[in-house]
Amino acid sequence: MLHGLNRLIGLILAPLLVSEDHIFDLHKHLNDPVQPLLALADTFTNNESLRPAVGGAQCTREWLWSIPRRDCKWCFRHVSTFIEELEDLARCLKIPKIFRTRNRYTFERVEALCLLIAWFQLAGDQCELSMKYNRSQTAISEVVNKLVEFLDDRWAHLLEFDHNGLLMTQRLQLYADAIHMKGSLLRLIWGFIDCTIRCMCRPSWWQQQVYNGHKKVHALKFQAIRLPDGLIGHLFGPIEG
């Protein structure tokens, strides 16, 4: 039985233990099932090629002003114009001039906001940002999570139903009038509900809870109410599945 277990471990780990500069000989350790596991850990610890090198340029104010305006818009294309809006947005969101994470990584507020925007529009992983913006993947992960928490806490009163601003009674009437003037037969429609399904990798736990039977994927769902002026009046989620 032990011999069969050893061979099973060997068959599973063999493809993982072979790299360009490291080949582990499983046959020498068929009588010791622990050795292949130790070799696997050593391989992943010492193999520098598993993560790309940090490179590129940091998103400092000077760097943003030095690149072409079209490049700035392409990299952070969730912003409608250019660097001027990035600076104004960071200031209006009350992001501290020096933004610090839990492990004392420090960022200028424009850099922190740029990394957050870049991460939200990226389809890959954070190592791609690390190669491009000269920050480690750990630092990028921390600043993104910390900034999301900061913005959620600081502007929570606007992320719920804003009865004293966007969704006050007088403005709802303006929205309804604008929609009716565009051809709506009803006079009481003031917004448009939209559901967005964001696909995700199959999780190790709670797979059934996040599985979407309609789309046949694992996903999280968000529901938003869009106003006639283009703003999002309310965002709810995420909800599993």
pTM of the model: 0.58
Asked whether the beta carbons of 110 and 59 are under 8 A apart, the reply is yes
Around 44, how many Cα atoms within 13 Å sit in the side-chain half-sphere? 7
pLDDT per residue as tens digits for the range 138-153: 999 999 999 999 998 8
Which has the minimum average pLDDT: 49-63, 123-137, 184-198?
A: 49-63
Where along the chain do its domains lie?
A: 2-50, 61-154, 158-240
| pLDDT over 70, % of the chain | 76
pLDDT per residue as tens digits for the range 86-133: 888 888 999 999 999 988 899 999 899 989 988 887 767 888 888 888
> How far apart are the C-alpha atoms of 15 and 148, rounded to whole Å?
39
Query: Which of 49-53, 148-152, 233-237 tops mean pLDDT?
Result: 148-152
> How far apart are the C-alpha atoms of 27 and 16, rounded to whole Å?
15
Asked whether the beta carbons of 131 and 57 are under 8 A apart, the reply is no
Give, in degrees to the nearest 5, the angle at Cα 231 between 234 and 80.
135
Length of the chain as a residue count: 241
Identify which has the larger pLDDT, 59 or 94: 94
Residue 61 to residues 29, 87, 131, 140, 197: CA-CA distances in angstroms?
Answer: 56, 8, 19, 17, 35
